[in-house]
């Protein structure tokens, strides 16, 4: 059978693409290795672009406000964001589950982690994945699997680290899986992003769990990756099927992923 040269050419390149796909699927560290080299250039441009945007915004703002007021404002905003995060995710969790135990046992809990401020320099340029790029990397002390939060709650975790950048997988992405607990009932489940519409779903939540719309969902701390007690979102929809073991629950994240500001990395 004689194949037309055009078709042969096309099949060759499609086959080559498929080989690349198969190899990189088997050896997942190939793409990040190649990306690390490229980020040395792209990262510089992204940081420069952010610098230009920030400078332009500052110039316009300077027309109406003084330099001193703006600096004070930034410091206060960062402090408020830290306090809000602690209030929403950490303190309320302590009050609801540990207060009585502390009184009974004379237990004094220390804050196990510190919050390091960071900033986003780039967002997903394509629609298929929900990731952002931070302006700090390995040289600034960022490590893989570090958890990222803001004043509203859980943002995501670091999945790739380069010398001066880091890629964060947002909790709303389909590849994101977080061990969580419904705060009111204590039922545990896995929170997985749905990719579209910015919502998530609770997987493996038993049908007998008595969760309701409006219930707060926090990280469970199981697995050791995500610290316990970080606010993740609120239940927006519950669908129970008596013939199924698990119920279908949708969660609206507490974080507005369209407006990510004042981010923090959790350093244990």
Partner 1 sequence: MKKTIIFIVLIFVVFVLQAVLIGGVQTRWSKPDLPLILLVLWAWRNGWKRGLLAGFAIGLLEDIFFFPLLGLRTFSLVLIGFLVGEARERIYQENVIFLLLVMGVVTVLNGVILSLWLSIFHLSSSFLGKFISLIFPAFLYNCLLAFPIFLAEEAFAKKSSRF
Query: Which positions lie near partner 1, rule CB under 8 A?
Result: 6, 9-10, 13-14, 16-25, 28, 30-31, 34-35, 38-39, 42, 45-46, 49-50, 53, 120-129, 133, 174-175, 192, 194-198, 257-260
Determine whether 126 is exposed, middle or buried from the number of CB atoms within 10 Å of its CB (0-12, 13-18, 19+): exposed
Q: Which residues pair with 190 in a beta bridge?
A: 179, 203
DSSP state of 90: I
Output 203 or 240, the one with its CB closest to partner 1. Answer: 203
Output 6 or 239, the one with its CB closest to partner 1. Answer: 6
Output 21 or 95, the one with its CB closest to partner 1. Answer: 21
Output 37 or 208, the one with its CB closest to partner 1. Answer: 37
What is the sign, positive or negative, of the torsion defined by CA atoms of 216, 226, 205, 239? positive
Least distance to partner 1, CB of residue 46, Å: 6
Output 25 or 65, the one with its CB closest to partner 1. Answer: 25
Distance CA 214, CA 56 (A): 41
Least distance to partner 1, CB of residue 34, Å: 5
Output 81 or 218, the one with its CB closest to partner 1. Answer: 81
Residue 203 and residue 188 in contact, taking contact as beta carbons nearer than 8 Å: no
Least distance to partner 1, CB of residue 205, Å: 17
Report residue 136: phi and psi, to 5°: -120, 155
Output 151 or 218, the one with its CB closest to partner 1. Answer: 151
Q: Which residues pair with 203 in a beta bridge?
A: 190
DSSP state of 238: E
Least distance to partner 1, CB of residue 244, Å: 17
Least distance to partner 1, CB of residue 95, Å: 33
Determine whether 168 is exposed, middle or buried from the number of CB atoms within 10 Å of its CB (0-12, 13-18, 19+): buried
Tokens representing 16? 């080559």
Strands, E assignment, the chain = 114-118, 120-123, 131-134, 147-150, 153-161, 166-170, 177-182, 188-193, 200-203, 216-219, 231-239, 248-253, 263-267
Which residues neighbour 222 within 8 Å (Cβ) at sequence distance 6 or greater?
179, 188
Least distance to partner 1, CB of residue 41, Å: 9
Least distance to partner 1, CB of residue 98, Å: 36
């Amino acid at each position: 059978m004689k194949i037309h040269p055009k078709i042969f050419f096309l099949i060759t390149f499609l086959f080559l693409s498929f080989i690349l796909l198969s190899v990189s699927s088997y050896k997942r560290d190939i793409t990040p290795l190649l990306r690390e080299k490229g980020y040395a250039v792209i990262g510089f441009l992204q940081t420069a672009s952010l610098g230009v945007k920030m400078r332009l915004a500052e110039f316009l703002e300077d027309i109406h406000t003084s330099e001193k007021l703006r600096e004070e404002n930034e410091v206060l905003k960062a402090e408020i964001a830290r306090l809000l995060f602690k209030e929403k995710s950490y303190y309320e969790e302590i009050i609801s589950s540990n207060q009585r135990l502390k009184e009974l046992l004379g237990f004094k809990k220390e804050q196990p982690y510190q919050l390091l401020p960071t900033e986003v320099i780039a967002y997903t340029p394509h629609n298929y994945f929900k990731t952002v790029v931070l302006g700090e990397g390995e040289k600034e002390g960022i490590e893989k699997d570090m958890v990222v939060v803001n004043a509203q709650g859980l943002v995501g975790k670091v999945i790739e680290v380069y010398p001066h950048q880091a890629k964060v997988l947002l909790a709303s992405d389909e590849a994101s899986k977080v061990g969580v607990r419904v705060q009111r009932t204590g039922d545990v489940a896995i929170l997985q992003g749905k990719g579209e519409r910015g919502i998530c779903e609770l997987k493996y939540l038993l049908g007998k769990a008595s969760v309701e719309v409006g219930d707060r969902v926090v990280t469970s701390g199981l697995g050791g990756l995500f610290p316990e007690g970080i606010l993740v979102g609120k239940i927006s929809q519950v669908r129970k099927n008596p013939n199924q073991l698990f119920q279908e629950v949708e969660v609206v994240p507490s974080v507005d992923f369209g407006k990510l500001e004042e981010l923090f990395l959790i350093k244990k």
